[in-house]
Every structure is written in C-alpha cells, then in structure tokens.
Structure 1
Amino acid sequence: MKTSYLKRYIRFRTNLEGRYFIWSIIIELISRFPISLKEAIDLINQNWRLIELTNHDEMAYHESPEFWAKDFYWGHNSIWWKKGGNRIQMGLEPLKPERKNKFDNYYVCTINTGEIINNYSVLLSYSNVKALKLIGLIDKDKGLIYSFSAKNYNEALMKHYRKSGWGTYREEG
C-alpha cells in the first residue's frame, strides 16, 4: 500500500479518523470554492497547526466539514453565516466569492487515500475528478460510481442526498 497522501502534507498529528475528517473538509473546500487541493491543504494546516486530531472527542468534530470549509475559506471573523441583507445591516464586508454557478457533471467516486480503508467515496465536479486523477488519487479506469448534472455543488448535493435516500440536503450558514 502506498503512503497515505495526507500524512505527507498535513502538519499536525492525526489518526485515521482525523484524516478521513480532513478529506471531507478538503472535498468541501475544492468543491465550494475556487481553490486547488494544495490550497485546501494549506488552509487546513494554517488553521489547525496547533491542534491534534487523534481523539474522537476533539472539539473539531463538533462541527461539520461544511462548517470548517466555510470557516477556513472566509475566516471566522468574517461572520460568514450571515448572508445578503443581514450582512449589509451589520456593516459587514462582502464575502470572497464561491465557485461560480456553471452547469457541470458531478461524480460520486472513490479516492485512493493510501489508508487502511483505501476507497473513500466523495462527490466531485468533473474538473476536480480530472485534477485528482492526474495525481493518482482517483484510478483512471475505475472509481466513478455514478454521475449527474447540476448547476453547482449545492444542487449536486441535493441530488446526491435524494438518490442516496438521506432526505433533504440543507446548506449550513
């Protein structure tokens, strides 16, 4: 088995559970925002350089990967959970843009994490699938489970939740 991809790049202590949680945050970051895998990992290292994800009681687990992705990208002090008119009323600066709406194909696929449980299923846009295939995190000949078209990641999540029987997806914030 190859070395865990994240073990090479994460600059704080983690266990297997912590690395899977980090993968979930990375997928949220690269899917919601116009950033690369490297930039996503850099944001996580910058924000969590003083913690350890080695215990399932760690405070980081009290929030979702979606929460952490938004908090890392926009910054906690941005009060990112306030939207539209609420931001204006509070005198808050506009938020950095999310990834633009663009009709795209989204794939449920597996990432080769290099961990004990190697195949980790995720939802990614076609461009992210291509990028992860280039660095060997998704097998070129397999790994795509199913796909559908959507105008953005949130719409893709809604479709994925329905197909998986998980109920209705609701965005945080």
Structure 2
Amino acid sequence: MIEFKFKTSSKVREYCEAIIQEMMSQFNITFEEGVDRINQKWGHFKVKTDEDDMIFHMLPVEWAKIIYYGADARWWDKNEKLTPAPYTPSRE
C-alpha cells in the first residue's frame, strides 16, 4: 500500500501512481523513491481531491519531470543539461 503524507481521493491516488510509473520508466528509480518524491512535493497538503485539485491540468509525464528535476528545471528544452532535484529517502 502506498503511504502518501496527504489524504487522496481514488482518482488522485491513481493519478499519483501514474506519475510514479512515469518516473520509474524515465529515470530508473524505485517505486519507493517515486512515493518519497511526491510526498516531498505535495506532502504539506492535508488533502488532495479530484473536486478541486489542480494536478490534473498537467499530464503524469509532465509531473514526473517537474517532480524529478524540480519546478524551475527547463525539462522541455532539449539543450538544457538537467540534474535531478535533491532526494532524501524517507525514514518512516
């Protein structure tokens, strides 16, 4: 079972799982790292629901790049040298 730091609707949970799958596929990370990176990005929210959630304005493939490289990375620029955002594994 995925342990997000925020409550989700089933639709948001499925969307987050799709983002994790994209990160695993594109960046060869583990499932656990994907969960940790999403928690680092959105863990400060108490609840993320499909009724009012803005995560759906981007595709999972886009979120995967934003979460992996950081919000300021120009991942769409083919000439940009990208470095992954710092990652600290959860110790929970």
| % identical aligned pairs | 36
Tell me if structure 2 keeps the 8 A contact 1:17–1:56: no
**Aligned-pair distance for 1:56?**
3.3
Query: Deviations 1:99-121 (Å, cap 9, x if unpaired)?
Result: xxxxxxxxxxxxxxxxxxxxxxx
TM-score by length of 1: 0.45
- SS at the partner of 2:21? helix
Q: Distance in 2 between matches of 1:56 and 1:20?
A: 15
Larger radius of gyration: 1
TM-score by length of 2: 0.81
1:96 to 2:80 alignment: no
- SS at the partner of 2:72? helix
1:83 to 2:70 alignment: no
Q: Distance in 1 between matches of 2:25 and 2:50?
A: 27
Which runs of structure 2 are paired with 1:123-138 in the superposition (5 Å)? none
User: What RMSD, in angstroms, separates the aligned Cα atoms of the two structures?
Assistant: 1.5
Tell me if structure 2 keeps the 8 A contact 1:14–1:54: yes
**Aligned-pair distance for 1:57?**
3.3
- SS at the partner of 1:78? coil
- Output the amino acid matched with 1:48: W
- SS at the partner of 2:49? coil
Deviating above 6 A after TM superposition, structure 1's stretches of 4 or more consecutive aligned residues are none
Q: Which residue of 2 aligns with 1:116?
A: none
1:20 to 2:7 alignment: no
1:73 to 2:68 alignment: yes
Segments of 5+ residues of structure 1 without an aligned counterpart are 88-93, 98-173
**Aligned-pair distance for 1:80?**
1.4
Q: Which residue of 2 aligns with 1:129?
A: none
Q: Which residue of 1 aligns with 2:55?
A: 60
Q: Which residue of 1 aligns with 2:90?
A: none
Would you tell me which structure has more strand in proportion to its own residues?
1
- Output the amino acid matched with 1:35: I
